[in-house]
Amino acid sequence: MRKALALSMMLVLIAAVSPAQKADRRQQRAEKRATATAAQPPSHPDVKYGPYARNVLDVWLAKSDKPTPVLVSIHGGGFRGGNKSVSAGLLSECLKEGISVVAITYRLSDEAIAPAQFLDSARAIQFIRSKAREWNLDPSRFAATGGSAGAGISLWLGFHDDLADPKNPDPVLRPSTRLTCMAVTSGQTSYDPRFIRDLFPGKDTYKHPALAQLFDVDLSKLDNLPQEKYKLFEEVSPINHLTKDDPPALLIYGSTMDDTGIHSPRFGKVLKEKMDALDIECQVYTGGEGGANQTMSFVKKHFGMK
């Protein structure tokens, strides 16, 4: 009787897991596999780029007589976890093709809410550019990649107005934050819970706990928040910054358009529609199509490499 009751309870629990939750779990497992720390040791490990403990990055320099383009890897983890990492396969291909790689990390949302994660990443781009001569890098060819939160940050960097401040007393903040292109996986193109609620009508995707922590809000009260929170939602949402002079983007998703979870390709579909209208290249792959080969081809194309 007890065994039958236990089995019944287990079946109830399994049934209670929504398709979106299952998709999230699959995505988490995929991210863990894809962002495993590369086996090849960095040329420069644990370099500090800012004042906070998590303002560190690893650098792999490609061997070249000429300044090399740079691919910056930004980790995911729902802004609540993760660390600097890059796919071993992607790293190997980049170095073979003469592309240097930098993996960065940033403050998590339990330490500082948005926009800290975005501004940390922008500073990392500026710091890397400030090292261009020392590290033999081409400051005019910078791309970003990442999954989930790392994808969203990459897109935000690509679309946001340049944060360069040429007269800043901090020399790191003087170079450009602009990118050549972005190649990302499972990316959110908006972090505005109102946008997400509209994107998935009748679903509670917008109440994702990672968003609640990122903004330090109660998302069950979405329509009754302080005005500054709505401004913050808008500021850190990449799609809000898209303009006709922005760089091209590649977005890869493991699921199909019927996915209503936080890694749904519907985020990419909305972005592509807007980028197509502005005549900016935007490639979106769904259902497991696309991958490392597409990422490398896309990045090399926009770096002007054969």
The pLDDT value recorded for residue 79 is 98
Is there a domain that residue 22 lies in?
Answer: no
Domain that holds residue 128: 27-302
The pLDDT value recorded for residue 235 is 98
pLDDT digits (tens, 9 = 90+) for 106-165: 999 999 999 999 999 999 999 999 999 999 999 999 999 999 999 999 999 999 999 999
Of the pLDDT bands very low, low, confident and very high (cuts 50, 70, 90), residue 289 is confident
Is there a domain that residue 294 lies in?
Answer: yes
Confirm if 245 and 279 have CB atoms less than 8 A apart. no
Is there a domain that residue 92 lies in?
Answer: yes
Of the pLDDT bands very low, low, confident and very high (cuts 50, 70, 90), residue 212 is very high
pLDDT digits (tens, 9 = 90+) for 59-95: 999 999 999 999 999 999 999 999 999 999 999 999 9
The pLDDT value recorded for residue 223 is 98
Domain harbouring 106, CATH code: 3.40.50.1820
Q: How far is CA 210 from CA 48, 193, 197, 298, in A?
A: 26, 11, 15, 30
CA distance 104 to 78: 15
Say yes or no to pLDDT of 181 above 50: yes
Say yes or no to pLDDT of 9 above 60: no
The pLDDT value recorded for residue 38 is 54
The pLDDT value recorded for residue 25 is 53
Give which of 71, 88, 151 is closest to 117, Cα–Cα.
151
Span 46-71, average pLDDT: 98
Is there a domain that residue 5 lies in?
Answer: no
Is there a domain that residue 59 lies in?
Answer: yes
Give which of 260, 268, 261, 262 is closest to 289, Cα–Cα.
268
Is there a domain that residue 192 lies in?
Answer: yes
The pLDDT value recorded for residue 5 is 46
pLDDT digits (tens, 9 = 90+) for 26-37: 444 544 444 444
pLDDT averaged over every residue in the chain: 91
pLDDT digits (tens, 9 = 90+) for 237-277: 999 999 999 999 999 999 999 999 999 999 999 999 999 99
Is there a domain that residue 166 lies in?
Answer: yes
Is there a domain that residue 162 lies in?
Answer: yes
- 195 half-sphere exposure, CB direction, 13 A CA radius: 21
Taking residue 30's Cβ as centre, other Cβ atoms within 10 Å add up to 17
Confirm if 48 and 131 have CB atoms less than 8 A apart. no
Of the pLDDT bands very low, low, confident and very high (cuts 50, 70, 90), residue 217 is very high
Q: How far is CA 202 from CA 197, 206, 237, 260, in A?
A: 8, 10, 22, 10
Count of domains for the chain:
1
The pLDDT value recorded for residue 51 is 98
